[in-house]
């Protein structure tokens, strides 16, 4: 009789562990679904593809007139002159072909693009920067920008 009583305790403990295990699994799945939904709807801004390049976009955003302002940093051993910035998405593009801003080594300057408007969702854009440095002309660097705006 005593042996039977001990077996029931063991069986009861295993039943509790199994029940709590299923409960934790359901909570993890629901939590993951909520996290994915919330993260998927966020409008995050980011720039990729410029790491290790001579010039890179360090920050960007829309001003009150819906102009896209980008901070461009020179990572070269000599000063760089930004000649042109082109932003494109789905066949539409916005460009500033007369930038002509000289940026000293390690410094940052702001370049403005018109023809952009705010949007309620994040979009991916291809960015091309044309620059001169160290006696070399028309060098290009390409990257991707993600933000809550669209090209008109």
> Which pLDDT belongs to residue 7?
55
Residue 20 vs residue 3, higher pLDDT:
20
Q: Do 54 and 38 share a domain, yes or no?
A: no
User: In terms of domains, do 28 and 55 share one?
Assistant: no
Kindly state whether residues 114 and 60 are assigned to the same domain. yes
pTM exceeds 0.75 for this model: no
Residue 129 pLDDT more than 90?
A: yes
Tokens 């940026």, residue? 103
Number of domains within the chain = 2
**pLDDT tens, position by position, 23-54:** 899 999 998 888 777 655 455 678 888 888 99
DSSP 8-class letter at 41: T
Where residue 79 sits, what CATH number does that domain have? 2.60.40.10
In this structure, the answer to whether residues 85 and 142 fall within a common structural domain is yes
Expressed as residue numbers, the domain containing 109 is 46-151
Half-sphere exposure of 92 (CA within 13 A, CB side): 13
Q: What pLDDT is attached to residue 21?
A: 87
The span from the CA of 102 to the CA of 75, in Å, is: 13
- Render pLDDT for 74-97 as a digit per residue (tens, 0 to 9): 998 999 999 999 999 888 888 888
């Amino acid at each position: 009789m005593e042996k039977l009583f001990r077996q029931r305790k063991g069986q009861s403990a295993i039943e509790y562990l199994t029940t709590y295990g299923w409960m934790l699994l359901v909570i993890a799945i629901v939590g993951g679904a909520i996290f994915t939904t919330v993260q998927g709807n966020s409008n995050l801004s980011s720039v990729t593809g410029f790491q290790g390049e001579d010039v890179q976009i360090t920050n960007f955003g829309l001003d009150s007139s819906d102009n896209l302002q980008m901070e461009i940093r020179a990572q070269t051993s000599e000063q760089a002159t930004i000649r042109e910035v082109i932003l494109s998405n789905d066949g539409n593009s916005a460009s500033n072909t007369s930038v002509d801003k000289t940026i000293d080594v390690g410094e940052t300057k702001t370049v403005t693009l018109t023809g952009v408007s705010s949007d309620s969702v994040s979009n991916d854009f291809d960015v091309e920067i044309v620059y001169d440095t160290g006696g070399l002309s028309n060098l290009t660097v390409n990257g991707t920008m993600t933000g809550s705006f669209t090209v008109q």
